[in-house]
């Protein structure tokens, strides 16, 4: 149905335009909002293949993904990775 076509379109966009961080985040967020947790996790695993570097929004989407999927160990891992990348860890709670 419609969800399948959206998934196919997202796959085509990823392959054809070689997404930047903004496009990557938009597609990742669409997967999370749509409940396609496995596809979102797969896309996260492929982020390096596209030369995309995660930004604050990428990490926030990943937090949302793992919180919704009740994957506490991955959620903690994302937060620890993100915590290590920011210059002032005191701002973390305000970002999330």
Kindly report the three-state secondary structure assignment for every residue of the chain.
Answer: CHHHHHHHHHHHHHHHHCCCHHHHHHHHHHHHHCCCHHHHHHHHHCHHHHCCCCCHHHHHHHHHHHHHCCCHHHHHHHHHHHHHHCCCHHHHHHHC
Chain segment 7-20, per-residue pLDDT in tens: 655 666 656 666 78
What is the domain count for the chain?
Answer: 1
Chain segment 25-54, per-residue pLDDT in tens: 998 999 989 888 888 888 888 888 878 888
Domain that holds residue 61: 2-95
pTM score, whole prediction: 0.62
């Amino acid at each position: 149905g419609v969800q399948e076509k959206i998934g196919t379109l997202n796959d085509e966009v990823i392959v054809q335009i070689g997404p930047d961080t903004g496009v990557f985040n938009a597609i990742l967020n669409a997967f999370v909002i749509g409940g396609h947790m496995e596809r979102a996790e797969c896309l996260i695993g492929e982020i390096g293949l596209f030369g995309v570097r995660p930004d604050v929004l990428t990490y926030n989407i990943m937090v949302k993904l793992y919180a919704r999927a009740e994957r506490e160990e991955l959620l903690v891992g994302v937060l620890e990775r993100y915590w290590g990348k920011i210059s002032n860890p005191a701002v973390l709670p305000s970002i999330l």
